[in-house]
Amino acid sequence: MSGPERFFHLMIEGLGSRQLWGLLLQSTLEYGSTFLLQRALLRRMSLERRAQSWNPLTWSTAIFWAGAFSMLPFAWVTRPSSGLRSGALAVLFGVLWTALLVGLAWAGGEVITVVFDLSPQTVSPAHG
């Protein structure tokens, strides 16, 4: 089997693996929950505060590269004012939202591992 044919065969074979679908579901959970939380928070903000937020390209890049940890800069750029108290609250809420999302991703990952039976297979030593 030559290069492109072998690649196509491996790709089709991979679509049948539970590990691939578990990984895709985990990624969707992590990135999707971050996006949905930020979108929900933006919808609750005034037009002025929403105008402070990132443009769509910056927003999607932040979520793609930082995932749940993009909540820290998100909270910072959407804070109500530039004062010290507002900044401290923004950092606090950013940390809390990040912790919530990381906990959700961890718990979801554990459920996905059980449902898709993705736990690593252990090999017992050979008895001679």
Residue by residue, pLDDT tens for the chain (128 residues) are 667 787 777 777 777 777 778 888 889 999 999 999 999 999 999 998 888 889 999 999 999 999 999 999 999 999 988 899 999 999 999 999 999 999 999 999 899 888 877 776 666 666 65
Contact present, 71 and 37 (Cβ < 8 Å): yes
Sign of CA dihedral 83, 84, 87, 88: negative
HSE at residue 72, side-chain half, CA atoms within 13 A, is 6
Token pair for 9: 């065969």
Q: What is the CA radius of gyration of the chain?
A: 21
Model-wide pTM > 0.85: no
Q: What is the pLDDT of residue 81?
A: 86
Distance CA 22, CA 4 (A): 26
Token pair for 102: 């990381």
